[in-house]
Copies of this chain bind each other. A is one copy, B any other.
Amino acid sequence: MSPNEILFRAVQNQKLFGQINRQLLKTIVAGHYKAGDLLPPERDHADMFGVSRVVVREALGSLRDKGIVSIKQGRGTTVNPIDEWNTLDPEVLMLLYGDELYEKLIQLRGIIEPEFAALAAENITPEELEKLRKVSDLPESDTVEQHVERDTMYHLLIAKATHNPVLLIVLSSISEMLRESRRRTFAVHGELAKARYWHKTIFEAIEAHIPQAAREAMSAHMQQVQNGLERFNRLNQEDHN
């Protein structure tokens, strides 16, 4: 390895295959390779990136698992049409949609979470209810990162209380991405207090086992979150002018 390569690796606090994975992804998303295009063979990639074939294969295998490329022995590796990229991998979606991703995610939340709350109100157990109670508040004294953590837990626990693991998987699949979304809304003055209010209201509806009340409160909460993000975007836009 050359000194430059060593420096490169030191800066990136990551395993090699992860770096290559990102590189490949960026190259594909940037449009250097379009759907149907044949990627260079593994051996060439290895030379180009200055790594062994092993890490190139690991990175390509990961892209294949995500539906981004198709690999066929003897033929090569081709890029799939974007409709077949059926992964909720944060890195992929971020590269594809940038900041607009958060609005799209919140639209999904607005669809699923009210029903999750309603189902939770029906099916939650006493033990689950106690766990939920513990993260229902958003203490003023906490840091933003702690707010994000508690908020994430709160919504995941509700999803879990539906007792349908598929529903939980859907929400947890986007939870990493939602962390950044939450950081943004919580950064807007007043949004934290609103979130605190809705969390309390939703919890009480679930505790009282009233699905319709839980559904409506969660729906309002989702609307509030969306408004919060829009406010953040406006403020952020003004800052950049």
Contact = CB atoms under 8 A, between A and B. Distances in A.
Given A111-B111, A112-B112, A115-B111, A166 B83 contact: no
Given A83-B160, A86-B173, A88-B173, A105 B166 contact: yes
Contacts of A57: 58
A169 B61 contact: no
B87 A169 contact: yes
Interface residues of A, number: 35
A112 B97 CA distance: 22
Interface residues of chain A: helix, strand, loop or mixed (majority) = helix
Nearest to A170: B170
B104 A166 contact: yes
A172 B80 CA distance: 14
A139 to B, nearest CB: 25
A107 interface: yes
A166 B61 contact: no
Contacts of A88: 166, 169-170, 173
A93 B111 CA distance: 23
6 contacts: A82-B165, A83-B160, A88-B170, A105-B166, A107-B164, A111-B112
Given A58-B58, A93-B166, A104-B165, 13 more contacts: A54-B54, A82-B165, A86-B169, A87-B169, A88-B170, A88-B173, A96-B165, A108-B167, A111-B112, A111-B115, A111-B167, A166-B174, A170-B170
